[in-house]
Amino acid sequence: MSRIDGRTPEQLRPVTIERGWSKHAEGSVLVSFGDTKVFCTASVTEGVPRWRKGSGEGWVTAEYSMLPRSTNTRGDRESVRGKIGGRTHEISRLIGRSLRAVIDYKALGENTIVLDCDVLQADGGTRTAAITGAYVALADAIAWAQGKKIVKHGRKPLTGTVAAISVGIVDGTPLLDLCYEEDVRAETDMNVVCTGDGRFVEVQGTAEAEPFDRDELNALLDLATAGCADLAKLQEEALARTLGE
């Protein structure tokens, strides 16, 4: 079966990870999964929220947002509506949890890193692109903090790497990295967050139409595990480049 954009079922869209996209942020990445583009910045602040003071441990959190015209039809700004919607809340929390899964709070020391993931253009998979890009921005921010001696010498705040991909069943076929059109038609939709060593940080599967059985679940997990491994390589390559190249 050929997909809308000609990919095979187990093929990622073209993925690009451009570092150093902001002159202000300690880490910054423009990540693209096909036409999905997310701008991720990592902001380092010395100190931690009040409830964590004196613990000797740091904190990492994330905020996700879509620009009003990142989608096909313009959406209202959440700032104008005066409240954050459920979907935004949910994705911000997912990104934060995913990155905290590879953080050693003690090694980070009492510092806070905020990941801002703003979707400039959406074509499906914005949350998985955000996690994948935010990891790279986070790694750059931590390197910066180590250079500035904000994070102490010899410590490794990152215990691993993390990437995420969507998978779904469309017309009975399990597919990797759904674009918007596929996502809309999917019977089942799953987002999987993996560490670089192939373990799971988050598995979120939802039956959009028909409930799914264990075999379908397994097929999706196989696809996602392989996809995350590919993304881990792309993250590694991106981080291997000298910033500014």
Q: Which residues bind a second copy (CB under 8 A)?
A: 22-25, 28, 35, 39, 41, 43, 45, 63, 65, 67-72, 74, 77-80, 82-90, 92-93, 97, 101, 114, 116, 118, 120-123, 160, 190, 194-195, 197-207, 210-214, 217, 221, 225
Cβ–Cβ under 8 Å, residues 176 and 10: yes
Binding residue per annotation — 16?
Answer: no
Instruction: List CB contacts of 50: < 8 A, sequence separation 6 or more.
Output: none
CA distances from 54 to 104, 107, 146 (A): 16, 14, 21
Binding residue per annotation — 126?
Answer: yes
**In the bound complex, what is the minimum distance in angstroms from residue 101's beta carbon to a second copy?**
5
Nearer to a second copy, 123 or 140 (CB): 123
Binding residue per annotation — 125?
Answer: yes
Instruction: List CB contacts of 3: < 8 A, sequence separation 6 or more.
Output: 9, 175, 182
Strand arrangement, sheet containing 111-121: 15-19, 27-33, 36-46, 111-121, 59-66
**In the bound complex, what is the minimum distance in angstroms from residue 153's beta carbon to a second copy?**
26
Q: In 3D, which of 124, 199, 207, 112 has the Cα closest to residue 162?
A: 199
**In the bound complex, what is the minimum distance in angstroms from residue 198's beta carbon to a second copy?**
8
**In the bound complex, what is the minimum distance in angstroms from residue 2's beta carbon to a second copy?**
22
**In the bound complex, what is the minimum distance in angstroms from residue 3's beta carbon to a second copy?**
18
- What pairing do the DSSP bridges indicate for beta strands 59-66 and 111-121? parallel
How many whole angstroms separate alpha carbon 88 and alpha carbon 127?
10
| Rama region for 2: left / alpha / beta (φ>0; ψ in -120 to 50; rest) | beta
Write out the binding residues: 87, 125-127
- In the annotated binding site for phosphate, the residues are 87, 125-127
